[in-house]
Structure 1
Amino acid sequence: MAGRGRISLEAIKKLTPKQREAARMVADGMSTKKIQEVLGISGSTLLAWRTRCHQFRTEVHQHQRTQFEDTATRTHALAHASVNCLARIIDDDETPPNVRVNACSVALAHQLRLLEHGLRVRQAEALEARLDELERRQSNIVETEAHSY
């Protein structure tokens, strides 16, 4: 640490193996208490990493993005198969009209959710970019203050 309550620029830029593991555990949704037990760290240490260490938060976000992308890939494959199944139901003249209408409703609802999801992803990316910029500015302030001591 550089001074009381300050994290050095080196600590901000490079995570220890324990910090990387803690970031993965946070991204996995593990409780603070469980992370403390597994890694043998205090709650205040984990809180400091989460609140004052930009690289730690970046590592958590990267793990979360990877998890989300993996889930999205699997869901997309399932959705593709489901849409094909719905198309067969809709196109089959022997399918009762009420079942065909329900299949159309499900297909349209799915499309709407995809559009809404795309909008939320773009909004989240814009917010993350803004957060990254603010955190970079904060790191520059911390670095400037560290050099002034």
Structure 2
Amino acid sequence: MEQAFIQSPLGVTKIEGNADGIASISVLNSNEKLTDLVPAILEDAVYQLNEYFEGKRQQFDLKLNPVGTDFQQRVWKALADIPYGKTVSYLELSKTLGDVKAIRAVAAANGKNPLWIVVPCHRVIGSDGSLTGYAGGLHRKKWLLEHESPVKQQSLF
């Protein structure tokens, strides 16, 4: 498994993958040494993530290979269908998957998403619109949703 550590606006991002695809992308709460030479197999992921942060990319086109249970894979696939700039509630996501009673299991699978940003778990919010739970920290979730918002808040000062 190849890996790279790159700088993003939200901290050091770790990317792991091989010829089978990208297995994980995560933001770290530590200052890992940045990668000097990105492995060729990860170059496209780095390029597309940089485009996303620059506001030039709304969809990713990467070969993905996350490891998870069948249920987790179903949830992650549903997450990938949430459009850029849109949000859904955990309840809506559970309904999409066909079982409103599975809301806690859906939330747990959402929290285990190994592909930060590319599989947009940050687009899932509470039914009341609150920014509930986010493995990367609520400050990052808020930043990502603002970054994707079609209406940019301008400073008055």
Same fold (TM over 0.5): no
More strand by share: 2
TM-score (norm 1): 0.29
Computing the radius of gyration from Cα coordinates, the structure with the larger value is: 1
More helix by share: 1
